[in-house]
Chain A
Amino acid sequence: MTEDTACVEFRHVTKIYNKSQLPAVSDINLKIARGAFCCLIGTSGSGKTTLMRMINRMNPITKGTVLVNGQDVKNLNPVNLRRHIGYVIQSNGLMPHMTIKDNITIVPRLLKWSEDKIEQKVQELIQLAELPTEFLNRYPAELSGGQQQRVGVLRALAADQDLILMDEPFGALDPITRETLQDFVKKLQTQLDKTIIFVTHDMDEALKLATQMVIMNEGKVIQDDTPVNILHQPANEFVKNLLGEDRLEEAQHYTVQVGEIMLTDPVKINIGASLTQALSVMKNRHVDTLLVTDDSNHLKGFISVSKLDKRYHHVDSVSDILETKLATLHPDSYLRDYAGKILQGNMTYVPVVDHQDKLVGIVTRSALVNLVYSTIWGSTEGNIQGADKHE
């Protein structure tokens, strides 16, 4: 197994159900890397579940090849293959006649693990899921829907499966429980370094969880990319409709980088300058602080007019009143990650430095306010006029 083999790969895969003329999926080529969180998303009947179920041979493959860790699944024993791939379905599929513990340990028992190893694994898993130990002896019907699905997820991890298939696992849960479970699965995936293939029709869920998003329609892959790229460049009208007007609008700002909105001529002064020079720059440019750089434009800190006023008669160089505690941004950071912090804090601006710490610009509060304004109201005049009428 080389590092660059994809965890799962589809090569010209077609599935035609008996009695049906039209293929459920047709000529799919797709690679899912190890450690990816791949969401298959599409309307119902788009073939996403069919595609997923061919990985563990729950659906026979009509044409083409499905590779798991570089091996053609057609050459593998289906029972053995399934024991090494985690499987979670919407209605959790817990065995109602088995206790939670027996449910979790189904696959380890099928694989004939020793009792000690099983016991150890159970304790490890129940802690991972933050469920009380006494749940182990209960039956599924005694647990809430969210707890049941948590157990369903644990069961898929119990035999250290690296690849986990999930078929709309949280579709039947209420929004709050669903969100908690999404966080749980995301945490597991990153912590334990699992590859997850996740079928959903909930766009928010997919955007939240996926590192790779595969959009399907009528048995074909329409777009296969990261969520950010899909939001930025939807392949066609279908994808745009699936994403929806609001998300696209929001996404435009969602993916704005610091470099795009920063002002590129920040008011600055050389570290060797005198306080008199500094004062005149402040007066001319109508500012109360100055960013301080050295000769090769490296950001050193800032000076403020209040401190300058206090110390004007005691010292005479900018370097003497320099304050070095300063938050900075990089031009290629996404604003979404910082906008909140900037708006909540009392900074009037944040300097932007490149990777050599050279000052390249500033992001001001007013630039952020404009951005937030257009996100909330949209860019169309109609919205604003409509809102006025309500007042």
Chain B
Amino acid sequence: MSDFLAAHGSELILKTWQQIYIAAISLGLGILVAVPAGIILAHFPKVAQLVMGISSMLQTIPALAILALMIPIFGIGALPAIIALFIYSLMPILRNTYIGMQGVDPNVVDSAKGLGMTNTQLTFKVQVPLAMPVIMGGIRLSAVYVISWSTLASYIGAGGLGDFIFNGLDLFQTDLILGGTIPIIIIAILTDYLLGKIEHRLSPIPKQ
């Protein structure tokens, strides 16, 4: 352990940072696009079906293939990796936001409207707060996906902890494989834990 850190310590910090950097940007972009899109789609159920269908299809493309597809368009490095992972993060967030919005008790929506809320007030004071636990569920799912898949970004030269793992696989060096894998697991667990805290904070109905 200390031998590994002595040999690869600074490299480990750099790779971990790259991993977090790629994952965080992809996820951040995913949230920025998918949450508003899901909220808007909730008002247009017919369009929503179509959009959901298309994004489900994108989801079926293997992660490695989509990364490879990015190379002819964006070249190699962090950019294509971020774009590919961004596309991957969209679907769970979009779907959960839409379902969460749809799942708000229609009676609550009806009475909010009947009391005289405008559509904007209805969306932001009633529907979004009540859909928040489901929306956060989608974000947590996407976060864990993106963190683990950003390992593959190493293949298209984006760096990250994947470098350790693939080197280890090539050289049959277990310590390199573990040196890459363990930090990824720690990052994923920590992220999920933090998002869980945020979810609790944003939860509309306080739990006793």
Contact = CB atoms under 8 A, between A and B. Distances in A.
Contacts of A155: 115
B107 A89 contact: yes
10 contacts: A79-B116, A79-B118, A80-B116, A84-B116, A90-B107, A92-B107, A93-B110, A94-B111, A97-B129, A139-B206
A123 B160 CA distance: 60
B115 A107 contact: yes
Interface in B92-114: 105, 107-108, 110-114
Contacts of A96: 105, 108, 130, 204-205
Interface in B59-117: 105, 107-108, 110-117
B130 A82 contact: no
Given A95-B126, A97-B130, A139-B206, A82 B108 contact: no
Contacts of B115: 82-83, 87, 106-107, 110, 155
B6 to A, nearest CB: 53
Nearest to A87: B114
Interface of A: 56, 58, 79-84, 87, 89-97, 106-107, 110, 139, 141, 155, 165
A84 B115 CA distance: 8
B108 to A, nearest CB: 6
Contacts of A87: 111, 114-115
B121 A110 contact: yes
A170 to B, nearest CB: 15
B110 A58 contact: yes
Interface in B153-208: 204-206
A93 B204 contact: no
Contact of B107 (A56, A93, A106): A93
Interface residues of B, number: 19
Instruction: Pick from A87, A95, A106, A110 the residue with the most CB of B within 10 Å.
Output: A95
B195 to A, nearest CB: 20
B116 A82 contact: yes
Contacts of A139: 205-206
A155 B112 CA distance: 11
Nearest to B203: A97
B184 to A, nearest CB: 36
Contact of B110 (A79, A83, A89, A94): A89
Contacts of A107: 115-116
Nearest to B118: A79
A121 to B, nearest CB: 15
Nearest to B104: A96
A110 B117 contact: yes
A90 B113 CA distance: 15
Contacts of B206: 139
What are the 8 tightest A-B residue pairs by CB atom distance, in nearest-first order? A93-B111, A97-B204, A83-B116, A87-B114, A82-B116, A91-B107, A93-B107, A97-B129
A90 B105 CA distance: 13
B149 to A, nearest CB: 34
A292 to B, nearest CB: 63
Nearest to B121: A110
Contacts of B130: 96-97
B204 to A, nearest CB: 3
A58 B205 contact: no
A111 B129 CA distance: 22
A89 B111 contact: yes
Contacts of A94: 108, 111
A155 B115 CA distance: 9
A50 to B, nearest CB: 14
Given A93-B108, A139-B206, A79 B114 contact: no
A89 B118 CA distance: 19
Contacts of A90: 107
Given A83-B116, A89-B114, A139-B205, 15 more contacts: A56-B114, A58-B113, A79-B118, A80-B116, A82-B113, A82-B115, A83-B115, A84-B116, A89-B107, A92-B111, A95-B126, A96-B204, A97-B204, A110-B115, A165-B114
A92 B112 CA distance: 11
A145 to B, nearest CB: 14
B203 to A, nearest CB: 9
Contacts of A95: 108, 112, 126
Residue among A82, A96, A141 facing the most chain B CB atoms (10 A cut-off)? A96
Given A96-B130, A97-B204, A58 B108 contact: no
Nearest to A82: B116
Contacts of A97: 129-130, 204-205
